[in-house]
Structure 1
Amino acid sequence: MLDQINTMLKSLQSLWEQLVQFLPQLVIGVLVLIIGWVLARLLRRVIIFILKFVRINTLSEKAGIEDFLLKGGAQYSTVNILANLIYWFLLFGLTLAVLHSLGLNAAKELFNRILLYMPNVVAAILVVIFGSLLAKLVRGATFTYLTNIRIAGAEFISTITYWAIIFLVVFIALQQLSIGGQVLISAFEIAFGGLCLALAIAFGLAGKEWATQILEKLWRNSR
């Protein structure tokens, strides 16, 4: 009986010693989290200012992303979304760093993976912004050109061109995020091939009248 009590007391003493050693690290970790949270909030404001200064919001408006977010019921602009993403990445990374400092090795591996993945997220967002802007510019140029040469289906063809580019942009963004793998590539090849075929057929049908007019003019001139 006494042996069992001594064993229990030794276990409690060992547990207490471990708790005493762990408490200072825990307090420091909590303080680091609080300071990091305050700094992350300040940094988010700085990032919003920088993004507005380099006119990211203007680019997203021209690309139609702001309208898309507004129609989807989003309460934040592109600039705010980017700043919030960085903010939460910082908080998450800081939390994992604190857990690692407390001796949790699993957090270290997860922390390293997130750090390596962050550039992919930023690259995907930039691809979507600039790709959407390019798609909108190409749609406008295509519509203007086809309208000037009096193609009946100018709006239809320019719209198909726009969505074909958007589809390509989404595919590139997903590739940056390493989502989909070979299945995504195969699906993209099939869908993009179908879009190209539809575009070719639409262009042929829309340009039939224009080609007829050109041939008639050439026939009259030759006579």
Structure 2
Amino acid sequence: MDINIEMIFRDIYNWIAGFLPHLFAALLVLLVGYIVAKILQSIVQKVLSVVKFDSIMASTPAGSMVKRVFESPTSFTAKLVFWLVFLGALSISLEKLEIAGLDSVLASVYGYMPHIVASVVIFLVASAISGAVVRLVKRVLGDSAMASTASSVAPALIMSISVFMILNELMIAPEIVSITYTAIIGAVALGLALAFGLGGKEVASKLLEQAYESSKKAVKETKKTKK
């Protein structure tokens, strides 16, 4: 069997000549995507610094968790924006290579990215809300025992709900998550109903009384400062 070396080299040359334009296009898209991602990262970093995002997230579960891995919540959010944009550019650049079977894989991977982004947003928003609730409880109830209990229970409840929302968004065992979430909410509602039905009136009375006294003190202090 004769092997035509010239034909083999011609085929290799034709393949390289046909592949090079796709390679250059892919590299160009990747370079532009990287530059755009860095610019957006810088913009997000500056905007979040102006609105004092780190201070807002300082007392929240998300803030303390993010600080263990990143410098600050601002840095984490800015880097998240960078990687989302850069991965989008990477996906487009790989499509330019026109490699068989790669398009469907990239479409599946990048199609899942919005769920990840939504999950991060849910976590950050829930964490910010839990931090705001803690500050509100301490402001209304002061340093009472009820305030200590409420400031511990409320954030835990909010973050627990956010965990179920995140699992549902990520489509991780949605049926089990929905059943468990419904069961927990039902148990909490039943517990609250029993608590108020079996002597919760005294607790509610104390809670309102403490809130009223704290409000009166706050009003008096405000009047003194104005004078």
TM-score between both structures, scaled by the size of structure 2: 0.70
Shift of 1:103: 0.9
**Which runs of 5 or more residues in structure 1 are unaligned?**
214-223
What corresponds to 2:39 in structure 1?
42
* Structure 1 Cα separation of the partners of residues 58 and 41 of structure 2: 21
Alignment of 1:190-209 (within 5 A): 190-197=183-190, 207=200
The equivalent position to 1:18 in structure 2, one of 15, 18, 31, is: 15
Relative to structure 1, is the Cα distance of residues 116 and 54 closer, same or farther in structure 2, using a 3 angstrom cutoff? Answer: farther
What corresponds to 2:154 in structure 1?
161
- The answer as to 2:118 corresponding to 1:120 is no
Per-residue CA deviation, residues 16-63 of structure 1 (Å, 9 max, x unaligned), is 211122123213322432343233223211221123334433432253
Relative to structure 1, is the Cα distance of residues 33 and 137 closer, same or farther in structure 2, using a 3 angstrom cutoff? Answer: closer
- Residues 38 and 82, structure 2, Cα contact 8 Å, conserved in 1: yes
Relative to structure 1, is the Cα distance of residues 140 and 110 closer, same or farther in structure 2, using a 3 angstrom cutoff? Answer: same
Aligned-partner SS, 1:5: coil
Relative to structure 1, is the Cα distance of residues 139 and 47 closer, same or farther in structure 2, using a 3 angstrom cutoff? Answer: closer
Shift of 1:161: 2.6
After superposing the two structures, state which structure 1 stretch, 43-52 or 33-42, moved more. 33-42
Relative to structure 1, is the Cα distance of residues 162 and 29 closer, same or farther in structure 2, using a 3 angstrom cutoff? Answer: closer
What corresponds to 2:90 in structure 1?
95
- Residues 128 and 169, structure 1, Cα contact 8 Å, conserved in 2: yes
Shift of 1:206: 8.7
Alignment of 1:26-175 (within 5 A): 26-70=23-67, 73-142=68-137, 153-175=146-168
Shift of 1:76: 2.8
- The answer as to 2:177 corresponding to 1:184 is yes
- The answer as to 2:8 corresponding to 1:5 is no
TM-score between both structures, scaled by the size of structure 1: 0.71
* Structure 2 Cα separation of the partners of residues 182 and 58 of structure 1: 38
Relative to structure 1, is the Cα distance of residues 31 and 175 closer, same or farther in structure 2, using a 3 angstrom cutoff? Answer: same
- Residues 60 and 78, structure 1, Cα contact 8 Å, conserved in 2: yes
Relative to structure 1, is the Cα distance of residues 87 and 102 closer, same or farther in structure 2, using a 3 angstrom cutoff? Answer: same
Q: Identity over aligned residues, as a percent?
A: 25
Q: Which of these two proteins has the greater Rg computed from alpha carbons?
A: 1
- Residues 56 and 79, structure 1, Cα contact 8 Å, conserved in 2: yes
What corresponds to 2:220 in structure 1?
none
Shift of 1:192: 3.6
Aligned-partner SS, 2:3: helix
- Residues 135 and 165, structure 1, Cα contact 8 Å, conserved in 2: yes
What corresponds to 1:220 in structure 2?
none
* Structure 2 Cα separation of the partners of residues 161 and 145 of structure 1: 14
